[in-house]
Chains A and B, each alone.
Chain A
């Protein structure tokens, strides 16, 4: 029997090349290409008065210098608004190179192409751009106040007013036994993949075709954007995402200015051009996320059951809205989490500031929504003197309530209907895993060591695997090799392994024979991209369907050869055989050969399929009507709506009352992503997400000053967690399959990061007894909070004691 593969911790097929230095990332490709570098705005808001390149022209090695004036046709138009939305009433995007106004520090103004990057930067240094400074808007509150406008024609700085409601919230609040209101903030962080962006473009003059390698999460759409902007026919453009050194969302945005400008230069100059983003460029010209101000009013009964929830929030979208209002929509719709909220209203204004654009970073608005809902649960518990776990339990959607319709519209334009779940099961497992009921003992023990211990929890539901679709192609070659391709891209999630497991399982072939290609438009032209924890759900199911198509065809051909009934055949270890009849078999590779009737025998295997090789049925055409040569199949998976994964996290913190250092000593995760293809990979995703959650809760923030200068634009100053900052994580699984897709999968990529800020805030509050109203929080801020006599005190609530 074929070794069981689905659900097994199969070691990754990507790893050998990556541990021996044979991976190929964008910057590893194209030795000897000309190098691009950019002059970027040093001001957050300014009018460009002039660009003087005279001193740069005599630098040895300069090849070309481009400004806005050199852009023609669609390139001279604003970059696309990728995801239009009726509530995005004032969308604004920049130009590939700034036209007359720059809206954030780091916006590209001039592109230089030179013989190498060192020379290109020398040239940049000699270009003088003169500016007239304009008033700067930084932070949601300044944007709301609108003393100054980011975009002259958007005086209130509001790009969009997103609004959803499920009933008359004001009446429901008025009718509630109890209500409370509070305001809280969450700050900016960013994806910060270890590899920045990069683009390499080669123009083939002989056949007028363009090949672009780019570190993207959406190669098919980059291809379409390049074709549109550079006015090329789609079939003349190939876009490949090679090995990509992490994405976490920032590389789903496209086309980045550089993804258009580098190919433009390669065509104009008739030579390959290359650009590798440096880390400072990544900080000031890629994307950030998370900043919101949230005002929450909740109504509830005396038992802590929520009766109404009203959320008013302001979301900082930075200088432009190329990715629409996806992040605030996700916050708005995922906020309710695993809870039955009878009446809900959410209004989020997405506002402009003179800062780097805000687009999805792992979690994509969910951490903010979770922060709002979970802190609400904590406040209800504190108000009623109830255990925080118990309040949550009383509000959970029950297992018999699925499918559960929240009457909201999700980021894919489809209803938020939870497909399946068992939230009480998650909570039970979490309480056991973290030892919730032993919190008071632990608090006392920590106190005896001079430490303040606190425990917190947070639950979430994550809409994963949104459409519209992904596709898969599976082809068995005469060599027995099985080629698999899908259009979406990989940034380290182990797709080559997970998809190979699916195909080996579905087709009955050894996994060693399966080769998977992702993100290469030469192999698969139709795709959406890798985001929203969708790769396994979307491409996994599409590939499974494609493999099933190949299997059906293989059985049909083999049934003819073996003179057997299709239903009596099985495929195992690459051999099609009659069940229970040893010897009555044909290798799948031979079936592949026979599937393609030949005239010419180019090798030994092909001989078997040539026209004189054996007796044929003269009454039928060699390829049946409606059939096609080759043992291959393409299929697509397009879901009716997203599938909803879920989980619960708990954190135990110890605080040193001398230094106010916050140490996360325990971190427990229970998660449910439906059926699991590879638990090793899923746990790896959880570990990585938790590390980013801890970073976002305690260390990472984008420190803009009032002039819109990012004060910490380097790894020296922007504090990403090292190993010393990340707690050991204990994980428990629950598998509630999705009824929506053939493999029963739900996404797992983002989950680990979602509840981090909420549950760590809860734990710190539990430890120090003071309201935490802004995250992340540093030891200094915690010290100031605890020392401030006006800071709100939090009544001690029992932990682990059912009320």
Chain B
């Protein structure tokens, strides 16, 4: 575990985002820590944990801004950490980080309350960016997560009837933003492609995240229930 000194170096005017790592592979934690150290002025790792219990205790102790959460761990995995931490510390933001690209895993942690999902092959710079973004309250969608959500909200013949249009449908604009995300566009590129501001892109993505977490669309609840998380 790293030192408990919470004061960041005030070079950039704001303190770095304090990150807590949860992953059952020590090797992987070391790698992420080393990569985030390159972005030390914006992101700082304050602690790490290798199991669900350690994670719950560590998050309560260090009170990090962002938790980087592995999806697959013994004893319930990332979703179990989310379930146990969120009632007590709703201010902590979770960013799921996993090698799994299965829809069940991705959708399950999002619905359990994670603010975003990135895969473990992401570069250190992109990871630091994603951490800062969720720390500011935005959502982070990997292209594949965007694809899953588009899939889940697609209008297919024979789909279950829409119960709550507010939650069960995407607006055309949200769909456009998701398509570009799935095509691998960065937020800035999406903004210039759609002639909107980056802030508006972020608003759309956050709105999609909320719908993904709360909607009862069949695909979403099926994927999540495959991991018994609803």
A and B interact? no
